[in-house]
Amino acid sequence: MINKIRTQLVQNAASILRSPVHLLPQSVQKKALLEGLKMAFKEALEDGDFEFLEGKWLKVSVVDMRLDWYISYEDEKLIVADQVQQEDVAFSGNLNDLVLIAGRKEDPDTLFFQRRLSIEGDTELGLEVKNLMDSVDLEAMPKPLQTLLNQLADFVYKGLQSPSTQSEVVNAYSN
């Protein structure tokens, strides 16, 4: 029963969250995203690892939520914009897949080859962004953020498992 509820929540997460998120003012969304990025990439920002993004724009799209964010690096700081004239590289995927990537439950390369993650534009820049994401040390994140991300990714991962896979796991443990 609980597995069915989790599966339904995970499968419908984007449609459940879409309206409330779109009701938030863009300035609140940008602030939350920027603060989250600063926490997640604290070490990389301190080391100047974002210099490759200076003067360039990364578009991140959460397709099933109809959300687009534009991220760049200027004066040793990350910046987030509502719109830009032209992005240099674009990453897009569905909410659950992006959560799985962030929580290290799925590899971006695997999702890319399964066509669940799209990377368009400047390939070299896209590779640098992907490598930077891969280099983030989840253990260096603040403990509450680390715990939240791990639990959310676990929840999504389990919720995406097919019912037959879930019953095989339950049967394996009950023998």
Task: Fill in the amino acid letter for 167.
Answer: S
What pLDDT score was predicted for residue 162?
61
**Which pLDDT does position 146 carry in this prediction?**
86
Which pLDDT value is given to residue 170?
A: 42
pLDDT of residue 144: 85
* C-alpha pair distances (Å), 141 with each of 39, 54, 150: 7, 24, 11
Decide if 95 contacts 13 (C-beta within 8 A): yes
Question: Residue 33 — φ and ψ, nearest 5°?
Answer: -65, -45
Answer yes or no: are the C-beta atoms of 14 and 94 closer than 8 Å.
yes
Q: Compute the distance between CA of residue 42 and CA of residue 55 in angstroms, rounded to an integer.
A: 20
Q: What is the pLDDT of residue 163?
A: 60
Low-confidence ranges of the chain (pLDDT < 50): 164-175
For residue 124, the SS3 value is helix
Q: pLDDT above 70 covers what percent of the chain?
A: 92
Q: Would you say the pTM of this structure is higher than 0.75?
A: yes
Q: Where are the domains of the chain?
A: 1-161
**Superfamily classification of domain 1-161:** SCP2 sterol-binding domain (3.30.1050.10)
Q: What is the identity of the amino acid at 120? A: E
